[in-house]
Homo-oligomer: A and B are copies of this chain.
Amino acid sequence: MSTTVERDRAPKQDRSRATRRRLLEAAVACLAEHGWSGSTVSVVAERAGVSRGAAQHHFPTREDLFTAAVEYVAEERSTALRALFPSGPAARRAVVAALVDLYTGPLFRAALHLWVAASNEDQLRARVTELEARVGRETHRIAVDLLGADESRPGVRETVQGFLDMARGLGLANLLTDDSARRERVVAQWADLLEEALG
Give the interface of A toward B (CB within 8 A).
33-35, 37-38, 109, 112-113, 115-120, 125, 128-129, 132, 155, 158-159, 161-173, 175-177, 182, 185-186, 188-190, 192-193, 196-197
Q: Is the CB of B129 within 8 A of A176?
A: yes
CB distance from A160 to the nearest CB of B (A): 10
A119-B175 contact given A165-B169, A166-B165, CB 8 Å threshold: yes
Q: Is the CB of A186 within 8 A of B169?
A: no
CB distance from A18 to the nearest CB of B (A): 29
CB distance from A116 to the nearest CB of B (A): 5
Partner among B34, B115, B168, B189 whose Cβ is within 8 Å of the Cβ of A120: B34
CB distance from A190 to the nearest CB of B (A): 5
Q: Is the CB of A188 within 8 A of B115?
A: no
Q: Which residues of chain B are near A177, meaning CB under 8 Å?
A: 129
